[in-house]
C-alpha cells in the first residue's frame, strides 16, 4: 500500500472510531468514508516554446451535507488522487471543528510551477477552472490557495470563472488579492491559527512564550510566518528546515536574517555549510515541535526520539496513527492538524461572507473573530480529550465529523 493510501486508511479508521463513539451506525460511516465526488481532468496548455503540454488535475468534494464544499488547490509534482481524497476529508473535519457551514473539498494539478514561466502558470490556472467549472461556484465548491499557489493564481482563477459565469463572482474563490475582494489577514491566517492553538496548549502545560525552545519543520508559507510570529513574541527558535536540510542553534536562530534570505519557495539552507539532515531535526532538545511541511514525518520509528512536550501540527497529516499512540503514551500533548491548521479555512470563510455581503472588515475584526473561534474549538476538544481519556486527535475527529453526520441524518441520507 502506498504512503498516500495510508493517509486515507488512517483517516477512515479514526473517522470510524469517532462515529462509533458518537453512536452512529455503519451506514453513516459508509456515507462519509470517501468523497461524494472526484473529478479528474486533463488540461492542455500552450507552453512558451509553442508546444502543447497536457496536465492532470483533480477536484474532490467530500460532503455537502452541511453546505458547499471548501478547500485549496495545490500545484505540485507529487499531487495524486489519494492525496486529494484524504485532504478533502480533512477539510470536512476542519470545517466541523470551527463550526463553519461547509463540507470539505480539495484540488490539485500535477505540475511543478518552479519550472514554468508566469504565463504558463496563468494558462494552466485558467485551464483548470474551465475544466472544473460545472461543479464549482460560490454555492457549490469554493477553492483557495494551497501548496505552490497564491493570491495571484486565485485572481486568475476568479477572473476565468467570472468570464464563464458572465458575472463578477468574487465569492467563487478565497485567498484573493485585497483589491479583488480578498480578506484582511488571510495571508497569515493559517500561521496565526497555529499560534492561537499553541498558546492554549502552552497554557495547559504551564509554559510561557519567552521560556520555550521551538523547532519548526518547514520554512514555506506556513513555517516562515510561524517562525516570524513566534520569534517576535519572544520564543527561541532553535531549529528550522526546508527540503534541502535543517539548521540548528541551541542559542536560537536569527529568524529575521533567515527570512531576508529565503527564496519564494521557502528555501534557505542551501546558503549555509552547517546543515544537518532533516531526520535529525526531530531529535533536537526542545519544548515544542511544529511540523509545518509534508505528511507522515513523525512515525513509530522516530516518535520515541521526540523530546518536545507539545507537538503542534501545522502541516496536513504529519504524524501517523501509530506515532500518535506512542506520543500520547509518553504524555506528549498533540495539537492535531485538523485543529491547529484550521485558521486558513476560518478566514477563508470570513472572506466568503464578506464577498456575499459586499461589506469588508478591518484586520483587527478578522483576528478577533478568528481568535474566538479557535480558542472555543481548542477548549472543546481538550475538554473532550480529558473527560473521556482519549487522545487529542480522536477528540478532534469526534467534534469535526459530528456536524456532517448530524446534517446527513436530518437530510435522510443515512
Residue 179, SS3 per DSSP? helix
Which has the closest alpha carbon to 106: 169, 36, 53? 36
Set out the domains of the chain in order of their start, with CATH numbers: 35-169 (3.40.50.10860), 189-340 (3.40.50.720)
Residue numbers annotated as active site: 106
- pLDDT of 186-227, one tens digit each? 988 999 999 999 999 999 999 999 999 999 998 877 888 899
- Longest CA span, the chain: 63
| pLDDT reported for residue 394 | 96
Q: 319: which DSSP letter?
A: B
33-76 confidence digits (pLDDT tens): 999 999 999 999 999 999 999 999 999 999 999 999 999 999 99
pLDDT-derived band of residue 1, with 50, 70 and 90 as boundaries? Answer: very low
Sign of the torsion angle spanned by Cα atoms 347, 348, 350, 355: positive
The string of pLDDT tens digits covering residues 372-399 is 999 999 999 999 999 999 999 999 999 9
Residues 310-328 have pLDDT tens digits of: 999 998 889 988 999 999 9
> Of 162, 142, 145, which Cα lies nearest the Cα of 153?
145
Q: Are 98 and 377 contacting, i.e. CB atoms less than 8 angstroms apart? A: yes
Q: Determine the number of helices (DSSP H) and then strands (DSSP E) in the chain.
A: 13, 12
pLDDT of residue 284: 93
The fraction of the chain above a pLDDT of 70, given in percent, is 98
Q: Which residue reads 473521556 in cell numbers? A: 388
Q: For the purposes of burial, counting CB atoms within 10 Å of the CB of 360, is it exposed (0-12), middle (13-18) or buried (19 or more)?
A: middle
Identify the bridge partners of residue 104 per DSSP, sorted by sequence position: 70
| 181 within 8 A of 170, measured Cβ to Cβ | yes
Name the nearest CA neighbour of 69 among 43, 40, 89: 89
Amino acid at each position: 500500500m502506498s504512503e498516500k493510501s495510508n493517509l486515507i486508511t488512517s483517516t477512515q479508521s479514526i473517522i470510524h472510531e469517532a462515529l462509533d463513539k458518537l453512536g452512529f451506525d455503519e451506514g453513516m460511516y459508509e456515507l462519509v468514508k470517501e468523497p461524494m465526488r472526484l473529478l479528474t481532468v486533463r488540461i492542455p496548455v500552450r507552453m512558451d516554446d509553442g508546444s502543447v503540454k497536457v496536465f492532470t488535475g483533480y477536484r474532490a468534494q467530500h460532503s455537502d451535507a452541511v453546505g458547499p464544499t471548501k478547500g485549496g488547490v495545490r500545484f505540485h509534482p507529487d499531487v495524486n488522487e489519494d492525496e486529494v481524497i484524504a485532504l478533502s476529508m480533512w477539510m470536512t473535519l476542519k470545517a466541523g471543528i470551527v463550526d463553519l457551514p461547509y463540507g470539505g473539498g480539495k484540488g490539485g494539478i500535477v505540475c511543478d510551477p518552479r519550472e514554468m514561466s508566469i504565463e504558463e502558470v496563468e494558462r494552466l490556472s485558467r485551464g483548470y477552472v474551465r475544466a472544473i467549472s460545472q461543479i464549482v461556484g460560490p454555492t457549490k465548491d469554493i477553492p483557495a490557495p494551497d501548496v505552490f499557489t497564491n493570491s495571484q493564481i486565485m485572481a486568475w482563477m476568479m477572473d476565468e470563472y467570472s468570464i464563464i459565469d458572465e458575472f463578477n463572482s468574487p465569492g467563487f474563490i478565497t485567498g484573493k488579492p485585497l483589491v479583488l475582494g480578498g480578506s484582511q489577514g488571510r495571508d497569515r491566517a493559517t500561521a496565526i491559527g497555529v499560534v492561537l492553538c499553541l498558546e492554549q496548549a502552552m497554557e495547559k502545560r504551564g509554559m510561557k512564550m519567552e521560556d520555550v525552545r521551538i523547532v519548526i519543520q518547514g520554512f514555506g508559507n506556513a513555517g516562515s510566518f510561524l517562525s516570524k510570529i513566534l520569534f517576535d513574541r519572544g520564543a527561541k527558535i532553535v531549529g528550522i528546515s526546508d527540503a534541502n536540510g535543517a539548521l540548528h542553534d541551541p542559542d536560537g536562530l536569527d529568524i529575521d536574517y533567515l527570512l531576508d534570505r529565503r527564496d519564494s519557495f521557502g528555501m534557505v539552507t542551501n546558503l549555509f555549510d552547517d546543515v544537518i539532515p532533516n531526520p535529525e531535526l526531530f531529535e533536537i532538545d526542545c519544548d515544542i515541535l511544529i511540523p509545518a511541511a509534508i505528511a507522515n514525518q513523525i512515525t513509530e520509528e522516530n516518535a520515541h526520539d521526540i523530546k518536545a512536550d507539545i507537538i503542534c501540527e501545522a502541516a496536513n497529516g504529519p504524524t501517523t496513527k501509530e506515532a500518535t499512540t506512542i506520543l500520547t503514551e509518553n504524555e506528549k500533548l498533540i495539537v492535531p492538524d485538523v485543529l491547529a491548521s484550521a485558521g486558513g479555512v476560518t478566514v477563508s470563510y470570513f472572506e466568503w461572507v464578506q464577498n456575499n455581503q459586499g461589506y469588508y472588515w478591518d484586520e483587527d475584526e478578522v483576528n478577533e473573530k478568528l481568535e474566538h473561534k479557535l480558542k472555543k474549538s481548542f477548549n472543546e476538544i481538550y475538554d473532550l480529550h480529558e473527560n473521556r481519556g482519549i487522545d487529542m486527535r480522536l477528540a478532534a475527529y469526534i467534534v469535526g465529523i459530528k456536524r456532517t453526520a448530524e446534517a446527513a441524518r436530518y437530510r435522510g441520507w443515512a
